[in-house]
Amino acid sequence: MEAKEIQHIYASHPGVTALMQLREEGSKKRVLLEGLYGSAAAMVLCGMREKAPEQTFLVVMNDAEEAGYFYHDLVQITGEKGVLFFPSSFRRAMKYGQEDDANRILRTEVMSKLSCRRRKEGLTIITYPEALAEKVASQSDLDKNTLTIAIGNRISRDDVEKKLAELKFKEVTYVYEPGEFAVRGSLIDIFSFSSEYPYRIDFFGDEVESVRRFDIASQLSQDKVDAVTIIPNLKNFAADKKVSLADYAEGAVWWMTDLDHTLGVLDENDFHNGIIHCFTGSVPFERKLLDRGFMISISGIVTFRAAENVREAARYAPDDRLLIETDSPFLAPVPMRGNENEPSFLPYTLKFLAEQRNTSPEALAILTTDNARRILKC
């Protein structure tokens, strides 16, 4: 069964139908969803998107890693269209001050699409608290400092150059980084902070004849587009005029996780000695689950470069509480990442996890198999 087929099943589920009814009525400001394990939360959200394609969702996960995994789940299920990632501007913690150009592009892309989205085109934005804590340029400032160029526009090349200089774009011989532009004959190459790729604009006199993306390495033109939106580096805007991203997401449905509530539900219902599927939490949260008698199950996420928190949890788990899983068809381990996951990929996760725990794959396979048989009573 394909992921799309599973999504349609979730979309027709009575629970999702009830959620959409509450949304339309506006009678509930907060709704708590329980029993969503692994990729089920992503499936429910995709079902809601299918039923309300005009609705914007703002998903706030607990940290950057969880946000990344949730984004990956959504893209695997529905594709990239309308699904955006909103990270922090910084490579590490904000206090170190190491900004990341790629992250700034992703942030600016989100703001650009939120500000110009059509009424019937909803977006789903995945983020986390540290990213939301950074304020962004206001809508009015963004509008005043945005240049849109479309095929057929009557505008001189000189006027475009002048506007780019006003926006603090740097003129160079060849464009390689955001914030740069280059002029060669009838062509202007521009790398906006709102795009993953730079654009090449070809003029015929004072008319825009074509707009194309181009490859940075080869400098060769690629696919055509109808228009391009040029946005400068938003960090140059005055700090006292910046606002929260929430100001752009008016009318959005917020989707958040609540770990303390999860623990409360486990305690209230005396749930113990179960399996925590596809664990992606922190070691402190893991300790609380272990204290309640749960097994910690590790998936292919442990092999992902950014998943240090999962590796820490995998190393911390006691021998008699550790399991290993696929989470098929999602979250294929490295080196199979990007493919549809399947049980035959489990040895990659097993080998990686064994290295993290300073043991052999054979010994870990016996250990986790015994644990699974004990908890499942088989």
175-184, pLDDT tens digit by residue? 999 899 999 9
The domains located in the chain, with CATH, are: 3-140+237-256 (3.40.50.300), 148-230 (3.30.2060.10), 259-376 (3.20.20.140)
Secondary structure (DSSP) of 141-161: HHHHT-EEEETT-B--HHHHH
42-57, pLDDT tens digit by residue? 888 988 888 888 889 9
C-alpha–C-alpha distance, residues 157 and 164, integer Å: 11
Q: How confident is the model at residue 119 (pLDDT cuts 50, 70, 90)?
A: very low
Which is it for the CA torsion 122, 123, 129, 135, positive or negative?
negative
Spatial contact of 190 and 183, defined as CB atoms under 8 Å apart: no
Q: What mean pLDDT is predicted for residues 348-368?
A: 96
Q: How many CB atoms lie within 10 A of CB 318?
A: 9
Pick the range with the lowest mean pLDDT from 71-75, 185-189, 216-220, 369-373. Answer: 216-220
Confidence check: pLDDT of 96 > 60: no
Q: In what order do the strands lie in the sheet with 170-171?
A: 170-171, 180-184, 187-190, 199-204, 207-214, 221-225
What does the pLDDT read at residue 118? 47
Mean pLDDT of the chain: 85
205-260, pLDDT tens digit by residue? 999 999 999 988 888 888 899 988 898 887 777 666 777 787 777 778 888 877 67
Contacts (Cβ under 8 Å, ≥6 apart) of 227: 148, 149, 150, 151, 211
CA 343 to chain centre: 26
Confidence check: pLDDT of 329 > 90: no
CA 142 to chain centre: 23
* pTM of this prediction exceeds 0.85: no
**What does the buried/exposed string (b/e) look like for 344-375 if buried means 16 or more CB atoms within 10 Å of the residue's CB?**
ebbebbbebbbebbeeeeeebbebbeebbeeb
- 323: phi then psi, degrees, rounded to nearest 5: -130, 165
C-alpha–C-alpha distance, residues 28 and 36, integer Å: 20
What does the pLDDT read at residue 162? 92
In the block, residue with structure tokens 């934005």: 125
What does the pLDDT read at residue 265? 66
292-301, pLDDT tens digit by residue? 899 999 999 8
Q: Which of 102, 66, 123, 69 is nearest to 253 (CA)?
A: 123
Q: What mean pLDDT is predicted for residues 368-373?
A: 94
What does the pLDDT read at residue 217? 85
Between CA 251 and CA 261, with CA 257 as vertex, the angle to 5 degrees is: 125
Tell me 377's DSSP state: T
**What does the buried/exposed string (b/e) look like for 165-182 if buried means 16 or more CB atoms within 10 Å of the residue's CB?**
eebebeeeeebeebbbbb
69-78, pLDDT tens digit by residue? 899 889 988 8
Q: What mean pLDDT is predicted for residues 123-152?
A: 86
C-alpha–C-alpha distance, residues 130 and 42, integer Å: 21
